[in-house]
Amino acid sequence: MELPLDLTIIIPNYNTKALLRECLASIYTHTAGISFKVICVDDNSSDASADMVASEFPQAILVRNKVGLLYAKNNNLGMKMSRARYVCLLNSDTNISANAFGALVEFMDTHPDAAACSPTLLNPDGSVQLSVRRYPGLMVLLLQSLNWHKLFPDGKVGREYYASNLDHSREQVVDAVGSTALVLRRSTWENAGMLDERFPLYSVDLAYCYMLKQKELKLYYTPVAQIVHHGSQSLDQMPKKSLRAAHDGFQSMNRHYDYFGKSIVTKTLISWAIELRYGLKLLEWHLSKDKRANSGPGRPKLDTPSPSSK
């Protein structure tokens, strides 16, 4: 099959019209030196996002879902449609600058051992967003559920889960990254597989990275490009529902990926622990002023404005 394009940029969207407009404008303004196509998969939005894309960005391929398919299926649809050497799974609440995609394509071209890579993510204020994750043991996850990282930002949870001690100035192989801006080599999704659709929304990125690690495929963090990420703008529209979905994602990891082993007893105990964690997080959400779906370390501050409010 002839692959005339270097890159397909896949952007799932749900009701983020203002952010999506800025994301697309930044792509077409700042991308040079590579051949690329944008596929925008609108997940049955009610804010006229799809109409905006059709009228303002006719060069993009627009898919209008008649029903919501959610994140994993939308990205997989884009990969099936792609005719490029690489794809980038990109969130709609991002902004591109300084030819980020040209740099990422060059990185993949010069690193043939890379199954995938992810750039530096920045908060709107320019601070580094902690997007790299490590796969910790049970004790660290228990401490994380108790907000240990908020009491001790540079402690065990910060280091062993949020990778707070990562040197963001150098490229390196990492355990996991979010799929905010994830570049995949065609052979990766054709041979290793696409996103696991048993995870419709949450934890699908961690599950995918875990699968790559199990197959001994290399995932790189690289500072050759920086992308601004406003953070969880679709999920923040329904924070309580998103909180439930997040823990359903943890349950799926427990059921399907044997992260803590295959024992039924262990899986049952982990399942109970996840539900206890959900109860604690729900109580925290009710008591906190911060009503966002994701307010973990390295995320934008609560008072950071976003284009969706303009």
Domain span including residue 167: 5-300
As for how many domains the chain has, the answer is 1
Residue 197 belongs to a domain: yes
Domain harbouring 292, CATH code: 3.90.550.10
Residue 42 belongs to a domain: yes
Residues 245-272 pLDDT 10s: 777 777 777 777 777 777 888 778 877 7
Contact 180, 229 (CB under 8 A): yes
* pLDDT for 310: 37
Residue 164 belongs to a domain: yes
Whole-number Å distance between alpha carbons of 69 and 197 = 10
Each residue's pLDDT, cut to its tens digit, for the chain (310 residues) gives: 556 899 999 999 999 999 999 999 999 999 999 999 999 999 999 999 999 999 999 999 999 999 999 999 999 999 999 999 999 999 999 999 999 999 999 999 999 999 999 999 999 999 999 999 998 777 777 777 677 777 787 888 888 888 999 999 999 999 999 999 999 999 999 999 999 998 877 789 989 999 999 999 999 999 999 999 997 555 555 667 777 777 777 777 777 777 777 788 877 887 777 777 777 777 877 777 765 555 555 555 545 444 443 3
- DSSP-derived letter for residue 128 is B
What residues have CB less than 8 Å from 109, skipping those under 6 apart? none
Residue 309 belongs to a domain: no
Residue 201 belongs to a domain: yes
- Chain-centre distance of CA 267, in angstroms? 26
Residue 235 belongs to a domain: yes
Whole-number Å distance between alpha carbons of 231 and 287 = 22
Residue 107 belongs to a domain: yes
Residue 307 belongs to a domain: no
